[in-house]
């Protein structure tokens, strides 16, 4: 049951994270929001509270372990426990390898990979001690298939896939009952494309999203479904995208 679960969400200031925060708060979860833009988090937390929900927030840069530890601490201080973490922060400055945008490669590795690891490291001691916890992460269809023009992003999302599956298996072996759910969205209309600095790539993606993109609420529904599953069940993977997107 979602009701009364304490759920940390990273990347909660827009797109999929924002939609998920609002949906699960409306279903009775106590949400703890993290991202870098604190003003946006405040707006979202205020909207949730005004609608009768419960929310706390904190500026978090997921590349910093201290920030990840601090949001777990905040959840415990505000709501007494942590039941789930949605590791959703990410960026996609797509470009071809030959463009050698090495600074953007680093950024994707730091946020999309290290951000997930930092979040897991922050919450794992709590989940292990309470023998319960749910780690949900946003990979991408780019974590299932390779696309020319998005090599590094695809690599970071393949990492998430593999790491989450190992986490699930080890938790089962170790009897800690830490459940996992990995989500593989296709084209979802969010702010994600704003991180693309390469002009031609940006234009191509915008056309594609205009043709196919669907609302981030669709992903929020899936996260809510995963959270609603009973403790003895893990729904490991969800691939979710526009019905008319052929790949
Ligand atoms: P948005 O750009 O709308 O959201 C990205 C979120 O990540 C923002 O809240 C942003 O907040 C946060 N973020 C970025 N860098 C950091 C950081 N260093 N520390 C903390 N938070 C950070 O896009 P989406 O909602 O689409 O993205 C959410 C996830 O979904 C990403 O992991 C993305 O890769 C994945 N995804 C998206 C798809 C799509 O089509 N939209 C498809 C497949 C996967 P802030 O800037 O305030 O820090």
pLDDT tens, residue by residue, 109-124? 999 999 999 999 999 9
Which structural domain range is residue 29 located in? 6-228
Question: Taking a C-beta distance cutoff of 8 angstroms, is the pair 140, 245 a contact?
Answer: no
The answer to whether position 241 is within a domain reads no
Domain of residue 173, CATH code: 3.40.50.720
As a whole number, the mean pLDDT across the chain is 97
The answer to whether position 130 is within a domain reads yes
Ligand 1 in contact with 88 (CB < 6 A)? Answer: yes
The answer to whether position 233 is within a domain reads no
The number of domains in the chain is 1
> What does the pLDDT read at residue 246?
87
- Least Cα distance to 137 among 177, 186, 99, 179 occurs for 179
Would you name the residues annotated as active-site residues?
A: 153
Using CA atoms, how far apart are residues 21 and 1, in angstroms rounded to an integer?
A: 16
Stretches in the chain below the pLDDT threshold 70: none
Ligand 1 in contact with 91 (CB < 6 A)? Answer: yes
To test the pocket of ligand 1, the residue of 12, 21, 35, 181 to mutate (highest count of ligand atoms within 8 Å of its CB) is 35
Question: Taking a C-beta distance cutoff of 8 angstroms, is the pair 19, 219 a contact?
Answer: yes
The answer to whether position 149 is within a domain reads yes
Ligand 1 in contact with 9 (CB < 6 A)? Answer: no
> What does the pLDDT read at residue 247?
77
> What does the pLDDT read at residue 228?
97
The answer to whether position 67 is within a domain reads yes
The answer to whether position 238 is within a domain reads no
How much of the chain is helix, strand and coil, in % rounded to 5? 50, 15, 30
Triad 143, 35, 189: Cα angle to 5°: 50
The answer to whether position 235 is within a domain reads no
pLDDT tens, residue by residue, 64-99? 999 999 999 999 999 999 999 999 999 999 999 999
The answer to whether position 102 is within a domain reads yes
Which residue blocks in the chain are alpha helix, DSSP H?
A: 15-26, 38-50, 65-79, 102-108, 115-130, 151-174, 199-212, 217-228
Calculate the alpha carbon distances from 37 to 100, 190, 195, 239 in Å.
28, 15, 15, 28
């Amino acid at each position: 049951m979602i009701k009364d679960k304490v759920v940390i969400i990273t990347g909660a200031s827009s797109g999929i994270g924002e939609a998920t925060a609002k949906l699960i708060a409306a279903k009775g979860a106590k949400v703890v929001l993290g991202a870098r833009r604190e003003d946006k988090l405040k707006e979202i937390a205020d909207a949730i509270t005004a609608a009768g929900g419960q929310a706390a927030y904190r500026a978090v840069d997921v590349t910093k372990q201290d920030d990840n530890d601090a949001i777990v601490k905040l959840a415990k201080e505000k709501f007494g426990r942590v039941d789930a973490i949605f590791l959703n922060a990410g960026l996609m400055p797509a470009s071809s390898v030959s463009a050698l945008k090495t600074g953007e490669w680093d950024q994707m590795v730091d946020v999309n990979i290290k951000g997930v690891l930092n979040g897991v490291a922050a919450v794992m001691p709590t989940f292990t001690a309470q023998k319960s916890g749910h780690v949900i992460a946003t990979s991408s269809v780019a974590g299932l298939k390779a696309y020319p023009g998005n090599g590094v992003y695809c690599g970071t999302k393949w990492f998430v896939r593999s790491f989450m599956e190992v986490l699930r298996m080890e938790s089962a072996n170790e009897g800690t009952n830490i459940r996992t759910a990995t989500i593989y969205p296709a084209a979802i209309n969010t702010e994600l494309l704003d991180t693309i600095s390469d002009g031609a790539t940006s234009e191509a993606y915008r056309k594609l999203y205009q043709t196919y993109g669907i609302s981030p609420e669709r992903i929020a529904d899936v996260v809510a479904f995963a959270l609603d599953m009973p403790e003895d069940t893990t729904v490991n993977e969800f691939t979710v995208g526009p019905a008319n997107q052929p790949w």
